[in-house]
Amino acid sequence: MSSVTDISTRQVWDLLEEVTDPEVPVLSILDLGIVRDVKVENTTVNVVITPTYSGCPAMDVISMSIRMQLLSHGFKEVNITQVLSPAWTTDWMTEAGKEKLRAYGIAPPNPTQQVCKMELFVDDEAVQCPHCNSWNTRRISEFGSTACKSLFQCNDCYEPFDYFKCH
Amino acid sequence: MQTLINYTLYLADNALILAQRNAEWCGHGPILEQDIALTNISLDLLGQSRSFYQYAAQLINAEHPSAMPATEDSLAYLRDVFAFRNILMNELPNGDWGQTVLRQFFFSAYQFPLFERMKHSSDATLAAIAEKSLKEVTYHLRWSSEWVIRLGDGTEESHSRMEKALDELWTYTGEIFEPAPYEKAAVEAGFGVDATSLKDAWMERVSNILQEATLTVPAPRWMQTGGKEGKHSEHLGFVLAEMQFLQRAYPNATW
Ligand SMILES: [Zn+2]
């Protein structure tokens, strides 16, 4: 039996699905895996989010968007809390989100077991070109257009592309 | 409580001042990809400093309730030179690309074992910030290590520039492991990391990378200290003058 609170909690999650990442607008914040908890009490909502990177400038915009979205759908008070632990990981990105990234031309993150090793000068991950699907690609730079991405180039179709790097 | 505030501000100031220095490279990097890389690192450091400042502000307001509560912005923009606790190395002018990269390497090689330990701090907020930051620092350390090797073991020109940078910066590395009174108190209180205990790990990593870069670890020498206790070089004032200008000239201005 579902209570009123269950229904409105589900309603909040549905509304949050419509809030997108300002830097990768094809991804919802749920695809990104940064919404950690939602609690509803009458007309008050508490939303817990976690940043992708400490300095991600999108977080402030995302908080604002969450607030606007919920206020405009009848909630009277919206509290947004940021938590840092457990730290966000690309494992929390949904499979649907990864597909959306690929279709958008950004290579989605690989499973994280390969990440963040300290060995130097190694391409520690094989990354698939989102344009022609070739695995014959190389990393141009560890850091791309935003903190969450690195820059790759395809050796087959020569297109450069962003890779949403493992974290 | 005051110990926790001081210790948190020390961690925040280190990150903020280096973020500000690295950001000076924005639009001036040797190639676009590396310009972007360094400014990404700068942004990570800025984010870390925000987490620490937010926590410090919360602690300060709990301890000293005021009509003008402290905020992350007031701590960054409205304190003067003597209130900053960052190590001297982080406020030094950038020098050339090699010197900037080498400083980043020295600092990341410190932050890495620091946060590995702080992840287990008895203070839950410090532990959470450390856990989050460690993932970022891993990238910084790998990137800066590679560049130290690439330049040290590069051309004659790049090698000699790295030698010069090493000589310039080495005098400032000792301060990292020379604990300030609030660091000692933080260790005693159980939430801080003993800076002296990080020295061996730092030295081992630095020696290995320098060796691979065909650079020689400098002989022990007299080391500069003072930044941790607010005794700064003339350089910090210039950093703050630029960073704080807007809030000083137009108080409470927002975007
Ligand atoms: Zn391709």
In a domain, B189, yes or no: yes
Least confident of A26-40, A135-149, B97-111: A135-149
In the predicted structure, residue B37 carries a pLDDT above the cut 70 = yes
Whether A76 and A97 share a structural domain: no
Q: What percent of chain B has pLDDT over 70?
A: 100
Question: A48, A52, A84: best mutation site toward chain B, by most B Cβ within 10 Å?
Answer: A84
Contact A141 B135 (CB under 8 A): no
Contact B47 A55 (CB under 8 A): yes
Whether A31 and A61 share a structural domain: yes
Cis peptide before A160 (omega within 30 of 0): no
* Strand-by-strand arrangement of the A149-154 sheet: A106-107, A160-164, A149-154, A137-141
pLDDT reported for residue A145? 79
Question: A143, A146, A152: best mutation site toward chain B, by most B Cβ within 10 Å?
Answer: A143
pLDDT reported for residue B128? 96
Smallest Cβ–Cβ distance between B47 and the set A56, A85, A88 belongs to A56
In a domain, B255, yes or no: no
Contact A53 B139 (CB under 8 A): no
Whether A67 and A95 share a structural domain: no
Question: In which band, very low, low, confident or very high, does the pLDDT at A117 lie, cut at 50, 70 and 90?
Answer: low
Number of domains in chain B: 1
Nearest CA to B139 among B104, B191, B164? B104
In a domain, B48, yes or no: yes
Question: In which band, very low, low, confident or very high, does the pLDDT at A123 lie, cut at 50, 70 and 90?
Answer: low
Tell the burial category of A80 from Cβ atoms under 10 Å away from its Cβ (0-12, 13-18, 19+). Answer: middle
Smallest Cβ–Cβ distance between A54 and the set B34, B51, B149 belongs to B51
pLDDT tens-place string over residues A50-101: 998 888 888 999 999 999 999 999 999 999 999 998 999 888 999 999 999 9
β-bridge pairing A77-82 and A44-49: parallel
Which residues are bridge partners to A35 per DSSP? A49
Whether A95 and A158 share a structural domain: yes
Domain of residue B106, CATH code: 1.20.1260.10
Question: A54, A84, A112: best mutation site toward chain B, by most B Cβ within 10 Å?
Answer: A54
pLDDT, chain B, mean: 96
Domain containing residue B28: 2-249
Q: In chain B, which residues touch A (CB < 8 A)?
A: 33-34, 36-37, 40-41, 43-48, 50-51, 124, 127-129, 131-133, 135-136, 138-139, 141-143, 145-146, 149
- Give whole-number Cα distances, A127 to A40, A131, A155, in Å: 41, 12, 12
In the predicted structure, residue B5 carries a pLDDT above the cut 90 = yes
Domain containing residue A160: 91-164
Whether A119 and A99 share a structural domain: yes
Residue A87 near chain B (CB below 8 Å): yes
Contact A85 B127 (CB under 8 A): yes
Residue of A nearest to B138 (CA): A116
Mean pLDDT over residues A91-118, rounded? 83
Which of A33, A52, A82 terminates a domain? The answer is A82
What is the DSSP track for B117-175? Answer: HHTT-SSHHHHHHHHHHHHHHHHHHHHHHHHHHHHHTS-HHHHHHHHHHHHHHHTTTGG
Q: Establish, for the pair of chains A and B, how many residue pairs have beta carbons separated by less than 8 Å.
A: 79
Question: In which band, very low, low, confident or very high, does the pLDDT at B180 lie, cut at 50, 70 and 90?
Answer: very high
- Name every chain A residue with its beta carbon within 8 A of the beta carbon of B34: 141
Tell how far the Cα of A110 is from the centroid of ligand 1, in angstroms: 17
Number of domains in chain A: 2
CA gap B78, A48 in Å, rounded:
30
pLDDT reported for residue A148? 84
Tell how far the Cα of A43 is from the centroid of ligand 1, in angstroms: 50
Domain of residue A39, CATH code: 3.30.300.130
**Which ipTM did the prediction report?**
0.82
Whether A66 and A124 share a structural domain: no
Whether A127 and A68 share a structural domain: no
Cα dihedral angle (B208, B146, A115, B25), rounded to 10 degrees?
A: 130
Phi, psi values for residue A141, rounded to 5° = -150, 140
Tell how far the Cα of A153 is from the centroid of ligand 1, in angstroms: 8
Least confident of A27-31, A123-127, B216-220: A123-127
Q: Which residues of A27-45 are buried (b: 16+ CB within 10 A; e: fewer)?
A: bbbbbbbbbeebebeeeeb
Mean pLDDT over residues A108-126, rounded? 69
Whether A61 and A124 share a structural domain: no
Question: In which band, very low, low, confident or very high, does the pLDDT at B40 lie, cut at 50, 70 and 90?
Answer: very high
What residues contact A144, with CB distance under 8 A and at least 6 apart? A150, A151, A162, A163, A165, B36
